[in-house]
Amino acid sequence: MSWYRNTVWFVKGLREYTRGGYESASKHFNPADVEVDVAGRSFLVTGANSGIGKATAKEIARRGGTVHLVCRNKERAEVAREEIVTETGNQNIFLHIVDISNPKEIWKFAEKFRNEHKLNVLINNAGCMVNNRELTEDGLEKNFATNTLGTYIMTTALVPLLEKAADARVITVSSGGMLVQKLNISDLQSGNGPFDGTMVYAQNKRQQVVLTEQWAKAHRNIHFSVMHPGWADTPAVRSSMPDFYERMKNSLRTEAQGADTVLWLAVSAAATKLPSGLFFQDRQPVPTHLPLAYTHSPPEDEEKLMEVLEEFSQKFKSVSPG
């Protein structure tokens, strides 16, 4: 069954997720959607020192937005910030060093940020695919800590700030890989059975889709969306999926093509005319399940995911400094 699901994902991806899929889809884009001035609006992008995060931050900067780069590695982040400032001429690019796999750090950052800044748009882009089971210093499986819990805490901690803003939005960068996974709340930290980093990542990405749907129901004044960037040539893909990269490198999207729908969701008026909570690919809402796939979850499982993440979240909040 796992082989079949992976084959479906791969064949589907050959058609839609590659550079050719983007070029075909982009013929139907309205260029005016993203030809906007966002001066005076504040954007926070996690994982912004490379790949899709940096490409998104750069395009927002070109349009005059104030951009907060949230990155783990200080040296690479400073290089990225300098590149964005130099290429765009926008000086309103601010750097924050935060490890998204460390929930205490996220709480500390978010509490400080809420007191010092305004925020119109949060872009949850940071992620990882660790192919062997690793634990963080808090004893959390690293993929879960970064992709799921980190995204949950960053978003819920900044929701009070977003609720004060005009046209507030939250965009989470997921993956089409989630289509091969059904939400599994019984083993969130992948401690049972063999560890498959690709499938753990896909499970985390399914969890992000569920989070987005649940947040959309709970916070009506904020527009939530989640998206698949396609298969893009990024440092993360090269390092985490070397075999896949070698096989597909001539067909991968550019970083800017992968970031296009993130940018569209972040700045266009067209995006917020669509309902909150949808999953997007190439500027269009798309299904969150493959036809005939057994990946649908009962509502109680989705509610349980939110409860468990809230319990984790509060545990780390109570011990955060400051």
Catalytic residue chosen out of the listed positions 17, 22, 152, 201: 201
Cβ atoms of 221 and 259 closer than 8 Å: no
Instruction: Determine how β-strand 121-124 pairs with β-strand 66-71.
Output: unpaired
Contacting residues for 4 by C-beta, under 8 A, at least 6 apart: none
Q: Cα(115)–Cα(202) distance, rounded to whole angstroms?
A: 35
Structure tokens at 256: 């800017």
Active-site residue flag, 245: no
Say which amino acid occupies 146.
T
Q: Cα(155)–Cα(138) distance, rounded to whole angstroms?
A: 20
Residue 201's nearest CA partner among 127, 262, 150 is 127
- Cα–chain center distance at 55: 13
Tokens 């996690």, residue?
46
Instruction: Determine how β-strand 222-228 pairs with β-strand 121-124.
Output: unpaired
Q: Cα(317)–Cα(315) distance, rounded to whole angstroms?
A: 6
Q: Cα(303)–Cα(282) distance, rounded to whole angstroms?
A: 29
Cβ atoms of 57 and 68 closer than 8 Å: no
Phi, psi values for residue 281, rounded to 5°:
-145, 125
Structure tokens at 305: 């995911």
Catalytic residues, by residue number, are 201
